[in-house]
């Protein structure tokens, strides 16, 4: 299987079965890896049931809620140990914020030679549906700070709907240390530092309809701390170069 889809989960029993079925209906011969942090709502049991029907689903169970950043790096580590490693790895939310029908679009752009393709809410053609003003404001603010921090021509720094090349993952994996949502910024920073090709495609982001948001105050603090530290490091570097 040349493409893998990684789904980090925590309490997504309401969404995960129908989402995986829609991904399967794409008939793209995908490997689907679910990284579940011992969801108390029985997400893992839903996955085990689906494994009886679909042979391409793998469940990576972790002992507790350890954060999105470590979930993604755990998934990357598992995939790089496979005998036949996928050429591309897609990460996406398991709450239907991201439309499975956009997966082929990400893959097609990646196959043109890009190492990191972002499903963007903020590039031309991108949209957000169902999100309240507060969440939009936080998202815009996070993107503004990220843009000032790592200085890249990217519209959506915090999107979790992405396609990574195998070469990118193998190269940067030792340098990924994020625990929570700052993983989205760190992976972009690593791409810029190492000269990997980046592209964006417009997507429609839909705010979750079932289940609750997993963003905690601790994770929000970790994200802000990361980007402020990165901004400070950049200012120090600029001062030394002047």
CATH of domain 3-241: 3.90.550.10
SS (H, E, C) 9-49: ECCCCCCHHHHHHHHHCCCCCCEEEEEECCCCCCHHHHHHH
Maximal C-alpha separation, the chain: 62
Nearest to 223 by CA among 161, 169, 160: 160
CA quadruple 123, 183, 20, 197: dihedral sign: positive
Residue boundaries of the structural domains of the chain: 3-241
Q: Write down the pTM of the prediction.
A: 0.87
pLDDT tens track, the chain, 242 positions:
699 999 999 999 999 999 999 999 999 989 999 999 999 999 999 999 999 999 999 999 999 999 999 999 999 999 999 999 999 999 999 999 999 999 999 999 999 999 999 999 999 999 999 877 777 887 888 788 778 777 788 999 999 999 999 999 999 999 999 888 889 999 999 999 999 999 999 999 998 665 555 555 565 566 666 656 665 565 445 456 55
């Amino acid at each position: 299987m040349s493409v893998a889809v990684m789904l980090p989960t925590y309490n997504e029993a309401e969404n995960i079965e129908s989402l995986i079925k829609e991904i399967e209906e794409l008939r793209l011969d995908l490997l689907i890896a679910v990284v579940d942090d011992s969801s108390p709502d029985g997400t893992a049991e839903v996955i085990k049931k689906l494994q009886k029907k679909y042979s391409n689903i793998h469940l990576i169970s972790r002992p507790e809620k350890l954060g999105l950043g470590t979930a993604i790096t755990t998934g990357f580590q598992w995939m790089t140990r496979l005998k036949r490693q996928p050429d591309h790895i897609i990460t996406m939310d398991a709450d239907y914020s991201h439309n499975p029908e956009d997966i082929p679009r990400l893959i097609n752009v990646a196959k043109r030679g890009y190492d990191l393709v972002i499903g963007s809410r903020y590039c031309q053609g991108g949209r957000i549906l169902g999100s309240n003003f507060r969440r939009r404001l936080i998202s815009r603010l996070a993107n503004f700070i990220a843009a000032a921090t790592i200085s890249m021509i990217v519209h959506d720094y915090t999107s979790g709907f992405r396609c990574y090349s195998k070469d990118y993952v193998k190269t940067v994996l030792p340098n990924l240390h994020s625990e929570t949502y700052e993983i989205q910024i760190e992976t972009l920073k690593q791409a810029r530092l190492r000269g990997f090709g980046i592209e964006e495609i417009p997507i429609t982001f839909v705010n979750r309809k079932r289940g609750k948001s997993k963003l905690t105050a601790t994770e929000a603090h970790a994200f802000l701390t990361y980007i402020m530290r990165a901004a400070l490091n950049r200012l120090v570097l600029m001062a030394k170069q002047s």
